Structure 1
């Protein structure tokens, strides 16, 4: 392994490898697709395109409550759209009718498509009045409710950024890993699968220590050789480099017990000033890379050698 790094990076010592790793760390792994998942937004809006157009008829209505009643009775398929107008994904939720009244009852709303009773219709009319949706339709909305729903969906998608931030390394590296794996003789690339999946679907033995562990990437070549690639990005907050390095050393040891190879790709501010931990990683882990090393071709070189 050491010779591979020295030759590829054109350096003469492992200390220079560590320096290069440290000096090429980046402080963000956000790509342009991090901010909004436009495909998901479009899919959600298109799903209810007809229903949104039905609700368009309520905009500027002079007899809003009556018009809403007619729509609810004749077109109950609009029901799932109503929570979306308030940036709510749930179709079932509860609301307390009056916080100031200690005896106030709880209203249980169900916006799943079904034929409504007259009592349910009146409950939804009340919902429109008390949440401000009626005011929105009568005095604020334009003639294109679809544009409004698009904006709401964009807003709701921003809540998914937390998950995208955690998954950003996987999403960033997935097309690169797939391309390089297939180019270098690997016939299968699995993404976010448990190691037990190998036994169930490929007849590859896996011991109990890792059977229920989930892997970021599992590569299988034509001879049945298995390579696990784990990827992560650590900002400074809350990260403990020593514990992180130790956990991946243990991961590699467990994988080797099963005859599997291991590659760790990591990056982020948490590694700045942590040369001792980086050094420990290079000493104990066969293949340790950051994003810069991947981009200049070292991952491909590793996969070619494995």
Structure 2
């Protein structure tokens, strides 16, 4: 183990470092803004605020199909809103017309704003009937389509949580890494492929890593440091697979003369001291969030 760890953490041996790493693992990387991106939802709703309000006139309509046809003819800007009513973002949909039919006739719906032909208007009226949207307007008791759309957007945003979970460590560590970079004279890059170093900075990169994307790359003259971050919740990949993948990453980077730092955390590491031990044996710089907050990341970068 690098003597830096022992000196900085005031510990006597590698086992003590591993024990400290293990006992300071955090259970979650979620902050309060993890659950719903309200600013994104507000932006999406405001984009179609007028169009959503136009659809309010269909609520409990006595002549639904007639009123819908008039809206589609007079206000074609409402067309892109229709998929949102079904919690769909796509503007082009393909639907099997009749599952019981032997020929599986496919109907194409284009929800881009444009002037519609009479046939296209009839097709959309059929779409409202068969998808249940007509029933929603007439029977489900909605009082405001805009309010309903906000609920839809909140639901759609849950699909983005997986991506936010993956990026939570990057979001958490980015300001810390930026601050260290500024202090020590490094140029920080975020989510760039290593090939970018060759294109932008004329730094030679081996073909084996050229198309690999890095969480963070720090540049100072020709000194390159790749920082990879992840949070292991205990689902998905196995600890051994995770450790082996980062050992391989470090070896590839060393062939290019680049340094490597791995920051990982999460309750998935609890009870995995053997794999943590393997990580410290094979990877030059392995940290968790607690070690970073103590200042060890800055000390490592300073000494590289």
Give the TM-score normalised by structure 2. 0.92
Aligned counterpart, 1:74: 74
Check 1:140–1:236 CA distance in 2 against 1; reply closer, same or farther (3 A cut). closer
Work out the CA distance in 2 between the residues paired with 1:87 and 1:147: 14
Aligned twin of 1:291: 289
CA deviation map 1:260-286 (0-9, x unaligned):
111100112332222232222222222
Q: Which moved more, 1:264-273 or 1:14-23?
A: 264-273
SS of the residue aligned with 2:5?
helix
Structure 1, 108-117 or 169-178: larger mean CA deviation: 169-178
Residue in structure 2 matched with residue 4 of structure 1 by the alignment: 4
Map of 2:125 onto structure 1: 125
8 Å contact from structure 1 (residues 189, 217) kept in 2: yes
What's the counterpart of residue 202 of structure 1?
Answer: 201
- Whether the 8 Å CA contact 1:2–1:14 is kept in 2: the answer is no
Displacement of 1:289 in angstroms is 0.2
* Cα deviation 1:183-205 (Å, max 9, x = unaligned): 3221x221111100100011111
Cα deviations across residues 54-102 of structure 1 (Å, max 9, x unaligned)?
Answer: 2222223222211111111111111110010010111111223343455
Residue 25 of structure 2 aligns with which residue? 25
Does 1:159 find its partner at 2:159?
yes
- Inter-partner Cα distance in structure 1 for 2:104 and 2:185: 67
Alignment match, 1:305: 303
Q: Deviations over 1:106-154 (max 9, x none)?
A: 3221111111110110111111122221222234344432111111001
Determine the structure 1 residue equivalent to 2:253.
Answer: 255
2:212 alignment partner in structure 1: 213
TM-score of the aligned structures, taking structure 1 as reference length: 0.92
Equivalent-residue separation in structure 2 for 1:182 and 1:290 (angstroms): 22
1:148 aligned counterpart, secondary structure: helix
Residue 269 of structure 2 is matched in structure 1 by 271
- Deviation string, structure 1 residues 238-276 (Cα, Å, up to 9, x no partner): 433333323322222221222211110011233222223
* Distance in 1 (alpha carbons) for counterparts of 2:207 and 2:254: 14
Distance 1:276 1:104, change over 3 A: closer
* Cα 1:208/1:96, change in 2 over 3 Å: closer
RMSD, aligned α-carbons: 2.0
In 1, the alpha carbon distance for the partners of 2:236 and 2:123 equals: 47
Divergent runs of 4+, >4 A:
100-104
For residues 152 and 209 of structure 2, the distance between their equivalents in structure 1, rounded to whole angstroms, comes to 42
Could you say which residue in structure 2 is the equivalent of 1:281?
A: 279
Deviates more, 1:109-118 or 1:167-176: 167-176
8 Å CA contact 1:239–1:270 kept in 2: the answer is no
When structure 1 is superposed on structure 2, of 130-139 and 210-219 the one drifting more is 130-139
Residue aligned with 2:86, SS: coil
Question: What secondary structure, in the 3-state scheme, does the structure 2 residue paired with 1:153 have?
Answer: helix
Secondary structure of the 1:73 match is helix
State the distance in 1 between where 2:189 and 2:161 align. 24
Any idea what SS the aligned residue of 1:239 has?
coil
Unaligned runs of 5+ in 2: none
Cα distance in 2, alignment partners of residues 162 and 195 from structure 1: 25
Number of aligned pairs?
Answer: 304
